[in-house]
Amino acid sequence: MKISIDDLTVKFDNTSADRLVERWVWLVGTDKTPILISAIGDMFLMDRDQKVYWLEVGGGELTLIADSVQAFEEKLTDIEQVEEWFLMDLTTSLRLSAIRLKDGQVYSYKKLPILGGDYTVENFAALDIREHFGYIGDIHKQIKDLPGGTRVQIKTVD
């Protein structure tokens, strides 16, 4: 089965892209704009200097990955790099599963990896893009200063 970048990403509304990062400002700052969103809910952002960053939401980490958009696009031709950023096998399994994405949705963690969740089809559900980045950004902001191994209890409100 041949996989394209379209299979590994989702479309999003560029006009409201700033709303996707509003709950991540504590980590990404105010100078970055989303340019690409993976189907598994990670975000690629560009700053004013055209540098590209990877927001890996499972671990709540922001990484500089390219000094220019052109360099980023070149890295997208490297299969090993694409596997790391987009988890191709998992994304393919999710795409083939009963979990169907509608427009404006991503595969979102039921339990974040940083909280003990795993990278399996069973740990994902389809969720609205804004909800995904909103609630996960809130969780990471709340736990960012806790020492590793700290037990946390997540309570949800209906």
Domain boundaries of the chain, sorted by first residue: 5-143
Spatial neighbors of 140 by CB under 8 A, at least 6 apart, are 24, 27, 57, 60, 114
What is the reported pTM? 0.90
Residue 119 pLDDT: 95
pLDDT in tens, 29-45: 999 999 999 999 999 99
Name the β-bridge partners of 128.
105
What are 45-95's pLDDT values in tens digits?
999 999 999 999 999 999 999 999 999 999 999 999 999 999 999 999 999
- In the predicted structure, residue 158 carries a pLDDT above the cut 60: no
Strands ordered across the beta sheet of 61-66: 9-10, 33-38, 43-46, 52-56, 61-66
